[in-house]
Amino acid sequence: MQIYNTLTRQKEVFAPIDAGNVRMYVCGMTVYDYCHLGHARMLVAFDVITRWLRASGYGLTYVRNITDVDDKILVRARDNNEPINALTERMIDAMHEDERRLGVLPPDQEPRATAHIDDITAMIETLIERGYAYQADNGDVFYRVRRFERYGALNNRNPDDMRSGARVDIDQAKEDPLDFVLWKSATPGEASWPSPWGEGRPGWHIECSAMSTCCLGNTFDIHGGGPDLAFPHHENEIAQSEAATGQKYVNTWMHAGALRVDNEKMSKSLGNFFTVRDVLKEHDPEVVRYLLVASHYRSAINYAPDTLKDARRSLERFYNALDGVEAIQGNVDDDYATRFTRAMDDDFNTPEALAVMFELVREINRHRDDAVQAGALAHELIRLGNLLGLLERSPGDFLQGASSGLDDEEIARQIEARNAARRNRDFAEADRIRDALAEQGIILKDSREGTTWVSESR
């Protein structure tokens, strides 16, 4: 297996520290609002990675944190006039619901920042003792960026270049504009915890350093996150962690690609900001998941009406091939599994893996008259799809998942009205009903057993 390492900017043969067992940490949500599509992109990407590592025989400890104290959380709780723990618990429940609907498996551990305050303060104390941190006149504790010689390596940035472009407030308490906060002194009325430097709360970056090393050890195999976290968040994590422990922090760094909406950055100011739950009100969760899986995890994804239509059509090809075929385990050419595995072992290349699955679709359709062969091919298609978190439903359930706005009862009434028209030999009315349903994405299928329907992408 080869994985692209952001730190070295190349694919590397993956070799866990503890052979056969993988330790992976992924930066999770800051829970002040509902998850948006960018979060879904990251969650699904690392869900696929998790599934494949386990399918490949690795024991995996997957840790994904929750940031439950942060400036944004404090502001939102104040604006809502609610305690921060009430806000964060509500958003965590909503996050878990969104994950389940997208087929994202839960992590093995989900540490929260507020449960690791002692670990955070202990790490900050070590950094101060070693000369990597200092308390400023305003009570905040900062990290000395220039003290860490390898700062900027993850993002190939030179600290001198960063310093020349930095903007510094006149009253700023930092020794250097590049220094970042580890501990924020308390502001009256805000949530705070006791520390050797007075009441306060942790900075964002130090939270992940403390939680990851507490859960996985000073050095672990994989650290991942969204595309916007490589700098400064992950750069700062490396500096903090390695300065505190004296050991290499992470062997392989992985970052999911960005998500754009109609080829623009998602932004509330542009009016193209979508939460996961808003999207799932209008679109089948598996269609959204397929869109996120169909691109390589490091590639940018464009979310737009046409891309969703394409995703639904692709899933319809799979489910239409499976419809009417009884999946049974049997003899199938090993080449399908071999090429699927080769693709996934090449830095989790889902587009190539899906191409193998489409070949299986063609073979199922070619062998539909052979129940045994078609059934064995269908079984293999479902097995491979499940490895990506796809094809976990019955064909009928997906194909009748109407996006038309009509409920099942109304569609059944329309079908009965059409059947009555046909019995009365009023074929013009029967055709009118059929065409009206087709306009709304409902395609009727007549057979000797009766009339069934599927929902077609529009």
pLDDT reading at 269 higher than 80 = no
pLDDT, residue 401, reads 67
Q: Strand, coil or helix: what is 60?
A: strand
Task: Report pTM.
Answer: 0.88
The pLDDT value given to residue 437: 86
Domain range spanning residue 37?
2-256
Tens digit of each residue's pLDDT (9 = 90 or more) over 233-257: 999 999 999 999 999 999 999 999 9
Read off the CATH number of the domain in which 215 is found: 3.40.50.620
Asked if the model's pLDDT at residue 267 lies above 70, the reply is yes
pLDDT for position 457: 54
Q: Look up residue 141 and give its amino acid.
A: V
Q: Is 214 annotated as a binding residue?
A: no
201: β partners: 184
Answer yes or no: do 123 and 230 share one domain.
yes
84-100, pLDDT tens digit by residue?
999 999 999 999 999 99
Q: Among 256, 280, 311, identify where a domain stops.
A: 256
> Do 274 and 174 reside in the same domain of the chain?
no
Q: Are 287 and 214 in the same domain?
A: no
Q: Is the pLDDT of residue 414 over 80?
A: yes
Q: Are residues 173 and 235 in the same domain?
A: yes
> Which value, to the nearest 10 degrees, does the dihedral of the CA atoms of residues 178, 184, 190, 196 take?
180
Amino acid letter, 321: A
Task: Report the pLDDT value the prediction gives residue 411, as an integer from 0 to 100.
Answer: 85
Question: Measured between alpha carbons, how far apart are the two ends of the chain, in Å?
Answer: 39
pLDDT category of residue 168 using cuts at 50, 70 and 90? very low
| 194 contact partners, CB below 8 Å, separation of at least 6 | none
The domain boundary, picked from 195, 229, 256, lies at: 256
Q: What is the mean pLDDT of the chain?
A: 93
Angle between helices 305-322 and 350-366 (to 10 degrees): 40
CA angle, corner 146, sides to 138 and 30, nearest 5? 60
Is residue 208 part of an annotated ligand binding site?
A: yes
- Is pLDDT at 402 greater than 70 in this prediction? no
268 is in an annotated binding site: yes
Pair 349, 416 in one domain? no
Q: How far apart are CA 83 and CA 218, in angstroms?
A: 34
pLDDT at residue 406, as a whole number: 64
